[in-house]
Amino acid sequence: MTTTLVSLISILIGIVGANTIGLVLKKYSFGIIGNTIAGVFGSVFFIKSLGRLGFDPMSILETGNVNITLFIVNSTVSFCGGIIALFLTKKFERSINRKT
């Protein structure tokens, strides 16, 4: 497994998180494409900003093998990043629509 593959899996998990919340909570949904975009950006933002704590793709593969614990933390942060991005995007949309 390479760092690129770990990054792509993290982004995919963020997409799954955003789309899952969009399906469960309809009032936060932007449709499949909107939820996917929010999931990508949320996942990348959270992994880039919080990954410096030691669960970025380089740290996961540092020993040459996959560190499962770090990969699970990375996946959890990515999933939550997609969810939070969807909530923040919806909150932003509502604040814009309220002012006009």
Q: What would the pLDDT profile of 23-74 be if each residue is shown by its tens digit?
A: 999 999 999 999 999 999 999 999 999 888 988 889 999 888 899 999 999 9
Query: Is the predicted pLDDT of residue 1 greater than 80, yes or no?
Result: no
pTM: 0.89
Q: What is the token pair recorded at 30? A: 């932007």
Query: Does 98 fall in a domain?
Result: no
Q: What is the token pair recorded at 59? A: 């740290």
Query: Does 32 fall in a domain?
Result: yes
Q: Which pLDDT value is given to residue 55?
A: 86
Number of domains into which the chain is organized: 1
Query: Is the predicted pLDDT of residue 18 greater than 70, yes or no?
Result: yes
Q: Which residue has 């942060």 as its token pair?
A: 77
Query: Does 99 fall in a domain?
Result: no
Query: Does 10 fall in a domain?
Result: yes
Q: What is the token pair recorded at 79? A: 């999933």
Range of the domain at 28: 3-93
Query: Does 35 fall in a domain?
Result: yes
